[in-house]
Amino acid sequence: VNVSRRWLERFLRRSLDAEDVSTRLAAQGAAVDVIEPLNAGLGDIRVALVEEVRQHPNADRLRVCTVNDGSADRRQVVCGAPNVTAGRKYPFAPVGATVPVGKGGAPMRIEKAKLRGELSEGMLCSARELGVGVDADGLWELETDAAPGTFLLEALPLDDDRIVVDVTPNRPDLLGHKGVARELAASLGVPYRLPQLGPNALAPDVPPAQRAAGVRETVTGPLRVAIDDPEGCARFHAAVVRGVRVGPSPAWLRRPLEAVGVRSINNIVDATNYVMLELGQPMHAYDLATLKGPALVARRARAGETLVTLDGVERRLDGETTVIADAARVVGIGGIMGGHETEVRDGTTDLALEAAWFEPSRIRRARRALGLSTEASYRFERGVDRWNAAEAMRRSLEIILLTAGGTIEGSPVDLHPVVANPPRIFLRLARVKQVLGLELGLHEVERCLVAIGATVVAKPDDGRLAVDVPGWRPDLTTEIDLVEEVARMHGYDRVPTELRPFRVGTLPDAPAFAVKERIRRGLVAEGLSEVVSLPFTAADGEASVALLNPLADTGASLRRRLLPTLVRHAERNWNNHVRDVRLFEIGTVFERAEAGKRPVEQLRLGLVVTGAREPGHWASEAAPDVDAWDLKGLAEVAGALAHPGATWHVEGDHFMARVKDGRTVGWAGRLAADTPPWGGALFGVEIDVTDGARGPVRVEPLPTTPAAERDLSLVLPDGVASTAVIQVIRQAAGDLLEAVHVTAEFRGSAVGEGRRSVTFRLTFRAPDRTLRDADVDASETRVLSALERELGLSRRGA
Amino acid sequence: MPSRRRWTGAVHPVGGHRRDREIFRGLGFAIALGPRSRPTGTTSSRSTSPPITRRWTCTTRCISEVPPTVDEPGAGRLLLRTHTSPVQIRVMHASEPPIRVIMPGMVYRSDAFDPSHAPAFEQIEGLAIDEGVSFVDLKATLTHFARRFFSPSTAVRFRPSFFPFTEPSAEMDVECQLCHGSGCGACKGTGWMEILGCGMVHRACSSRAASTRSATPASPSAWVPARITMLRHGVPDIRLLYEGDMRFLSQFTAARSSTGGDT
């Protein structure tokens, strides 16, 4: 909400610094988004007295003026405005000054110039040229006692700051200057009161409102006022004014509105807007002559009723919407917008004024149903003070009488069918201490409550305070609300920050988190960098979970797999001329479940690698690119980290990870990508992550005896995998076999087509003695015969 | 002449929330994650491992900015959650105090992907539940966190705020990490940056959940690790965190000698 610094100053009767206001409001929970200085460009403009005006010798429409700008010499200024008059004061831009709105709207610097042969040393300005008004048809005649040469900003209340306050939804009281002034007054420890209206010290006489409590209908002057929908409209203030002259507003009424960005319309509409911005109470003025009856009735809309609202749009209404009707038809949507036919026009002479209270939830509903949000609905749906519309009515009547004349017919009425009072809340000092952890005395608690406008009505001996909350704080309904107010007014700054003793939490770290950490450590050790991606991709098959409202550029579905996004990352790196890419991601993927169920989620590990196996180094030839064996290694590492118990199997041109029951849990292989000619092959792994608990590593005793090694070079026909050979070796060799490694593979004419020679290195060891050749020979013989028997293999060259 | 190195990997600056976790571990907090596949509202949620996150909310409530939404046949329109808080508080009340946990979870927004917004990011919730936990403990704990995360001299302030489920509520600001309080474009001239929301759990929230422990004070807080990480490391564009650029990620390798910064 926009707040004018000057308006606040008039409440507090002291000058304020916008930055200080911002700091104080923030400390009390109303953060300030931005401070916009207004009319800051007028710093060069001075008040000047035109002493003499004569006709320009060479131009009918120009005048040559002698101007007293406070300096010793008089200035000669050529002026085209028809209303320039000797003996009057005008804003004056001397040579070198900048006028905010020059020709074409841009700021204009004033230079010494000759106009049709006459010297002109400066410029007399209109309000429009200074950006403070619209009366462009002449110079701005200043009504000021200030001496010539005084800066305009010192002579007139023009400089201001528009303070944009970020009001939280629980604080409707801050949607008017009075509420903001109240908060500031509490912060500064000073009183506040309603500013005087206009230059006149005496406000016009407005009779007090006639209370019409417990009834649904009353009259004010000729106007019948009724509430047929007390759930939607609980209270209705109305008044009738006759004989007004609708016209432009005086500066004192117009300027505050413009300072907060509200356009001045006419004195009547401005009066209601002024009151809304000052007190937070939205109001509406009807042209009495257009009201049938005349009557104003708050009731539910009837089926099929429509209304053309002020904005010229025809609105269809439903029965949940509270409307204001006259004797014949709907004339306004209660708390949202008035009707077009009954609005105040230039020729209007008689007014009916409304200041009502509408139920917030009903306004919210109607606002949504109509798709129509206004300044009024914004306030009503957050909650307007139900007990203060009388003040708003009185104030608007004063402004109208001051600016438009007229007389009040009858007395204003305050119709409220069901009398209600603001709630009384009991606050225990013990509760304050428990929640805040602060020992606050009764005196301080009371001070805080009074600062928000609450009344402490009783202090019983049991440590409870009976507190009547003010009507402008509909958010205060329970004890804890008051505890928060005490904290806020005591000051969050004064809450200490030293840590107090605490009990350590008893929950352990989540197992899934430990798994993620293990994966991170393991893959970073493999030289891979972790990446985090957005979980959105293009649709990826039937099982993709589609978004109803996808954002541009980020994909229309939730991801089903990690690898497609990782491929995009690799391609982006290639675009950046980065050839070596080593990335992994731990993230959730989504898939459609059976009908009626929410999408299935699965935690996955994905990785991609491309480029050189090792970083280049000057002393070595360039390392070869990563290949399928690197991929297999990374797949095995990923499996060990993410899904213990899964084993990798060759399947066509890729690997699949399976668990015991045959379920596939992972994939590893070469990836299709948009690879530049200089890019390497791209390999990737994706595997499900399980969070089974793992015990600690158990250390095996280190060997105390030497090992013996034997190499077996075997000729393997294609189709016999080395893993099968190793399996047979392990089974046949007996307890002495410690390890089997593949040390070489050889193909060629010496071996024969469709065959390869593979060398296996067998390591033997006995834990308690040094092995003799005979022990190893016996084992080797068993191995060879088993290989012959089970796989039909024999030693190369044998 | 240059030495010979191997490829060195890096943990993502936000991945694993290493720093958040270390600081909170020192204050007796554990890290909690929700088992993802477990249906919500089951009795198993009373076990010692707290199931936390419900990723989906139904579109019965109005949210001014509709986050990413999916329409599953039979399951209705589902919103990806924009906040993790209310569900977590309710569920955490199913465990025995003292509870001190931090809980990361993805949240989703309808924000365009631009230098300062991402449509999906992790949020971390902190939660302390125990007899005697008060607003003083909340402020002290989070101030400690901010000073350890940034630097011991970092200025911290708490401002009253409004959240539907906490009272008193507060927002925590730290001094702008660019201008250190003098005011600049990044902090809109205020010298402060808002990094975290927190409060004391409203009884209306807690009593609906677990009646027996409704009187136990609870102080939750929520922050976005990506945001504070960007401040700490001077990351100019949030998209760098999500685009897998090796030139960016490799700056976070532990053994990077040229800059010697702490990751």
Q: So what's the pLDDT on residue B104?
A: 85
Are the C-beta atoms of A208 and A411 separated by less than 8 Å? yes
> What is the pTM assigned to this prediction?
0.82
* B230 and A CB contact within 8 Å: no
Distance of CA B155 to the CA centre of its chain: 20
CB-count exposure of residue B101 (10 Å: 0-12, 13-18, 19+): buried
* A168 and B CB contact within 8 Å: yes
**Ramachandran bin of A734, using left for φ above 0, alpha for ψ from -120 to 50, beta for the remaining angles:** left
- Calculate how close chain B gets to A566, using CA atoms only, in Å: 8
Q: How far apart are the first and last CA of chain B?
A: 28
Q: What is the mean pLDDT of chain A?
A: 90
User: How are beta strands A407-416 and A210-213 bridged, if at all?
Assistant: parallel
HSE toward the beta carbon, residue A221, CA cutoff 13 A:
21
Give the dihedral of Cα atoms A292, A298, A303, A304; nearest 10 deg. 40
Q: What percent of chain A has pLDDT over 90?
A: 62
Tens digit of pLDDT for each residue in A176-200?
Answer: 999 999 999 999 999 999 998 887 7
> Hey, is A181 helix, strand or coil?
helix
* A530 and B CB contact within 8 Å: yes
Tens digit of pLDDT for each residue in A352-401?
Answer: 999 999 999 999 999 999 999 999 999 999 999 999 899 999 999 999 99
Q: Which residues of A186-216 are buried (b: 16+ CB within 10 A; e: fewer)?
A: bbeeeebeebebeeeeebeebeebeebeeeb
Mean pLDDT lowest among A55-64, A155-164, A268-277, B250-259: B250-259
Q: So what's the pLDDT on residue B261?
A: 66
HSE toward the beta carbon, residue B81, CA cutoff 13 A:
17
The C-alpha atoms of residue A56 and residue A61 are separated, in whole angstroms, by 8
- Across the interface, which of B55, B70, B244 has its CB nearest the CB of A548? B70
Residues in chain A: 798
Beta-carbon separation of A435 and B134 below 8 A: yes
pLDDT of A598 above 80: no
> Hey, is A433 helix, strand or coil?
helix
φ, ψ (nearest 5 deg) of residue B36: -75, -35
- Tracing tokens 């917008």 back to the chain, one arrives at A337
The C-alpha atoms of residue A613 and residue A691 are separated, in whole angstroms, by 31
φ, ψ (nearest 5 deg) of residue A338: -80, 175
Calculate the alpha carbon distances from A581 to A608, A666, B4, B26, B251 in Å. Answer: 7, 21, 19, 36, 14
ipTM of the complex: 0.85
Average pLDDT rounded to a whole number, residues A299-306: 93
Output B54 or A59, whichever has higher pLDDT.
A59
CB pairs under 8 A between A and B: 289
Angle (nearest 5°) at CA A227 between A243 and A409: 20
Q: Hey, which residues does A612 pair with through a beta bridge?
A: A625
> Hey, is B178 helix, strand or coil?
coil
Are the C-beta atoms of A562 and A549 separated by less than 8 Å? no
Mean pLDDT lowest among A268-272, A503-507, A766-770, B111-115: B111-115
Distance of CA B164 to the CA centre of its chain: 18
Label each residue of A256-290 as H, E or C.
Answer: HHHHCCCCCCCHHHHHHHHHHHHHCCCCEEEEHHH
pLDDT of B36 above 70: no
Q: So what's the pLDDT on residue B34?
A: 52
Q: How far apart are the first and last CA of chain A?
A: 94
DSSP per-residue string spanning A478-501: SHHHHHHHHHHHH-GGGS--SPPP
CA-nearest residue to B147 within chain A is A497
Q: So what's the pLDDT on residue B212?
A: 42
Cβ-based neighbours of A504, under 8 Å, separated by 6 or more: B28, B98, B100
Q: So what's the pLDDT on residue A708?
A: 93
Beta-carbon separation of B70 and A596 below 8 A: no
> Hey, is A1 helix, strand or coil?
coil
Amino acid at A747: R
Calculate the alpha carbon distances from A415 to A356, A357, A786, B18, B72 in Å. Answer: 9, 11, 106, 63, 51
| Tokens encoding A261 | 């960005």
Tens digit of pLDDT for each residue in B55-85?
Answer: 554 433 333 344 556 655 555 566 676 666 5
Q: So what's the pLDDT on residue B71?
A: 57
What is the DSSP-derived secondary structure letter of residue A365? H
* B11 and A CB contact within 8 Å: yes
Beta-carbon separation of A488 and B168 below 8 A: yes
The C-alpha atoms of residue A571 and residue B239 are separated, in whole angstroms, by 16
- Calculate how close chain A gets to B40, using CA atoms only, in Å: 11
Q: Hey, which residues does B170 pair with through a beta bridge?
A: B160, B198
DSSP per-residue string spanning A673-706: ----TT----EEEEEE-------PPPPPPPP-S-
Tens digit of pLDDT for each residue in A600-631?
Answer: 888 999 999 999 999 999 998 888 999 999 99
What is the DSSP-derived secondary structure letter of residue A795? B
User: How are beta strands A424-428 and A464-468 bridged, if at all?
Assistant: antiparallel
The C-alpha atoms of residue A213 and residue A772 are separated, in whole angstroms, by 114
Q: So what's the pLDDT on residue B258?
A: 57
Chain B residues within 8 A of A171 when measuring between CB atoms? 162
Q: For an interface test with B, which of A484, A486, A568 has the most B Cβ atoms less than 10 Å from its Cβ?
A: A484
Beta-carbon separation of A496 and B139 below 8 A: yes
Q: Which residues of A286-321 are buried (b: 16+ CB within 10 A; e: fewer)?
A: bbbebbeebbbbbbbbeeebebebbeeeebebeeeb
Q: So what's the pLDDT on residue A364?
A: 93
Cβ-based neighbours of A67, under 8 Å, separated by 6 or more: A48, A49, A50, A51, A74, A75, A76, A77, A92, A122, A124
Cβ-based neighbours of A287, under 8 Å, separated by 6 or more: A342, A343, A344, A345, A348, A350, A351, A352
A295, A263, A405, A426: which is closest to A348 by C-alpha? Answer: A405
Distance of CA A435 to the CA centre of its chain: 29
Angle (deg, nearest 10), helices A177-188 and A5-12: 60
The C-alpha atoms of residue A175 and residue A382 are separated, in whole angstroms, by 9
pLDDT of A485 above 80: yes
Are the C-beta atoms of A705 and A660 separated by less than 8 Å? no
Tens digit of pLDDT for each residue in A83-123?
Answer: 888 888 899 998 888 888 777 778 888 888 888 888 898 89
A292, A92, A279, A37: which is closest to A181 by C-alpha? Answer: A279
Beta-carbon separation of A549 and B66 below 8 A: yes
Chain B residues within 8 A of A614 when measuring between CB atoms? 6-7
The C-alpha atoms of residue A253 and residue A403 are separated, in whole angstroms, by 9
What is the DSSP-derived secondary structure letter of residue A75? E
The C-alpha atoms of residue B31 and residue B126 are separated, in whole angstroms, by 9
The C-alpha atoms of residue A128 and residue A276 are separated, in whole angstroms, by 27
The C-alpha atoms of residue B247 and residue B252 are separated, in whole angstroms, by 10
- Across the interface, which of A168, A532, A603 has its CB nearest the CB of B15? A532
Q: What is the CA radius of gyration of chain B?
A: 20
Distance of CA A755 to the CA centre of its chain: 68
A704, A493, A705, A531: which is closest to A608 by C-alpha? Answer: A531
